[in-house]
Structure 1
Amino acid sequence: MPARPAWRLGLTGGIGSGKSTLAKLLQSHGADLIDADAISRASTAAAGSAIAAITQAFGPDFITRDGALDRQRMREHVFAHPEAREALERIVHPLVSAEIQRQAAACSSPCIVFDVPLLVESPHWRSQLDRVLVVDCSPATQIRRVQQRSGWPVETIEAVMRTQSPRLQRLKAADAVVHNDADDMAPLQASAKALAQRFGL
């Protein structure tokens, strides 16, 4: 009997939810991890695959001295000009998608975890996945964690949260929800272990 194709799990959650922590825990149990955000950051790092097109579309003022995207400047720009976000996504998303598919083809684990911050916002993702896992916590917990981690002001964190899908929309899209309001890591570790067993790791 042929082996079952690898499970393709989409993992998402709002900023500060603990999504990336759960992804690393699943990886420690043997899952292959594809981090869409890391791939996206690489495409806009110095000499990244998106830099030439970003320079052409937005101008050299959005590129740092070392040849990377000026993230702070772009973040402020897209908050003020929503159409700029769409233009940036038209450049970055196809490059990220191609690299994700390349990495997925090279995976050998019975379970591939796709860590995708904007999974719910991107309609093409659902058809490529077997299950969607959402890491959820309260907005207050999100804000507190991002403040502790990054030192951002509340207004900046709330602005990022508004660019992400609403909490209820994420929960509606989920096949499974991992609740992560606790500061203690033990419940998240237990959830990761249960998911690993469920998906053949």
Structure 2
Amino acid sequence: MKKINYGIFLLLTFLIALPSILWAQNTDEILHKMDMQYATIKDKEADVVMEMINDKTGKVKTRKAVLKQKRPYKTLFRFTYPPSQAGIGTLSLPGNIVYLYMPAFGKPKKISNMANSGAFSRSDFTTEDMGPKNWAKNYSATILSTNDTAYILSLVPKSKNNKYAKLVVTVNKQHFFPQRVAYYNRKDELTKEADYQYE
């Protein structure tokens, strides 16, 4: 009788724990696919349009750029519009190494970690925000919800030095690129959002 009860207890414990195990496997798989989708595209070029909207005034600032990736996690981002910023570029390399090119200086300059967390193109976003994330390596994920087209994930940085408490990321189920990234500060307050469209 004791063996039967013990066996039932073990079975119930396993069934209760099973969903969390499956969720963990799913989140690891999702992050891995996000990284793989980015890494397997070894040679690409894209035109980028950034629209920065002031929440208070509704004013929209437009930035245009060209993005080139020759190898995984080696990305060149160069502005083409407005004229005041045309030619400014960043080169992102593995290991969180970033170089900034300013036409006025005529040569690239390595950006320190502090500068890497500074404003990107006079926006609320930093150079680090705009660079590759290495999702599986840098974040622990939980699934907040899911629908027919996307997963909504809560990503907590593994590094205690990260200035964000979490990111809430909407991931497209078809191509596993992020559609939206919401950034929360250490007070768990939403500070900014980025929406992405792919054609």
Structure with higher RCO (Cα < 8 A, 6+ apart): 1
Q: Normalising by the residue count of structure 2, what TM-score does the alignment of the two structures yield?
A: 0.23
User: Which structure has the highest strand share of the two?
Assistant: 2
User: Which structure has the highest helix share of the two?
Assistant: 1
